[in-house]
Amino acid sequence: MKSFDLSGRAALVTGSTRGIGRGIADGLIESGAQVLFHGRTPPPDLPADATFLNLNLMQPDAPEELMAQAFESAPQLDILVCNAGSFFDVPFLEMTHKEYSRTMDLNVRAPFFLVRAFAKKLVEEKRGGAIVIVGSTNGFQAEHDSVAYDTSKGALVMLTKSSALDLAKHNIRVNCLAPGLIRTPLTNQWIETNKEQREHYEKQTPLGRIGDIEDCAGAAVFLVSNAAAYITGHVLVVDGGLTLPQIGAL
């Protein structure tokens, strides 16, 4: 389908050295887009002609600097995927200001100002674009010992909706991808060493399996493509139906 073709377009994917971010980056390349990779250390298996940008998004000015470098590397840039994020939680009553700030700086402040810097440049150039913010099902379903993380992912849902509303008049679409449990380098060890919990997740998931990176990649490609040209402010859940039932399987 031509509406999924991203030829001639360019994307910045933050946190794209591995896991969901890398899968999304590879999916965008497969669909024809030029992709700018971002992370702290370039992986050895990046495409030979790939551009890699190394900035620590925890730093206050890093989002604006990253966007400046991205537009310098690819002036036609019109896709932004805010994927970089992490989990730093401890039990709620043990949470410190420092740990809370680490979560909010990376998971909320960085994407907020990335979206702002990206949109500002496109508006100046009178161009449209597409943004995908990678959230989580934790943005609307709580998990034990995950209060700061859940709060940050809930904030991304409203960042998506509010920025989509403000940027629609500039033909800049903003959508959110909300994965459930996905097999990544960070989750694989836990998944494979906790057989009973893995089987519990599989039983509670209507589609009967844990998600793969490719499940997120395909959804992200759709959201930035012309196939989704009339979709903005939407949260696309990629969880195999895990969040559907009020009461899980017995």
Instruction: Write down the domain spans for the chain.
Output: 2-238
Place of tokens 């696309």: 236
Q: Give the integer Cα–Cα distance in Å for 58 and 77.
A: 23
Question: What contacts 41, CB < 8 A, 6 or more positions away?
Answer: 17, 54
The residue that leads in pLDDT, 195 or 113, is 113
Q: What is the mean pLDDT of the segment spanning 40-67?
A: 94
Is pLDDT at 1 greater than 80 in this prediction? no
Tell me which residue of 148, 219, 145 sits closest to 180, measured CA to CA: 219
Q: Give the integer Cα–Cα distance in Å for 11 and 13.
A: 6
Q: Coil, strand, or helix at residue 2?
A: helix
Q: Are 223 and 232 in contact (CB under 8 A)?
A: no
Token pair belonging to 245: 């039932």
Q: Coil, strand, or helix at residue 163?
A: helix
Q: Residue 97: what pLDDT?
A: 97
Q: Is the dihedral of CA 205, 208, 211, 217 positive or negative?
A: negative
Establish how many alpha carbons lie within 13 A of residue 177's alpha carbon, considering only the half-sphere containing its beta carbon. Answer: 28
Is pLDDT at 195 greater than 80 in this prediction? yes
Q: Hey, which residues are catalytic here?
A: 136, 149, 153
Place of tokens 């700086």: 105
* Residue 197 pLDDT level (bands cut at 50, 70, 90): confident
Q: Are 130 and 224 in contact (CB under 8 A)?
A: yes
Helices (H) and strands (E) in the chain, counts: 8, 7
Q: What is the mean pLDDT of the segment spanning 113-129?
A: 98
Q: Percentage of the chain with pLDDT > 70?
A: 100
Token pair belonging to 15: 């946190």
Q: Give the integer Cα–Cα distance in Å for 112 and 18.
A: 22
Is pLDDT at 21 greater than 80 in this prediction? yes
pTM given for the model:
0.96
pLDDT in tens, 167-187: 999 999 999 999 999 999 888
Superfamily for domain range 2-238 = NAD(P)-binding Rossmann-like Domain (3.40.50.720)
Mean pLDDT of the chain: 95
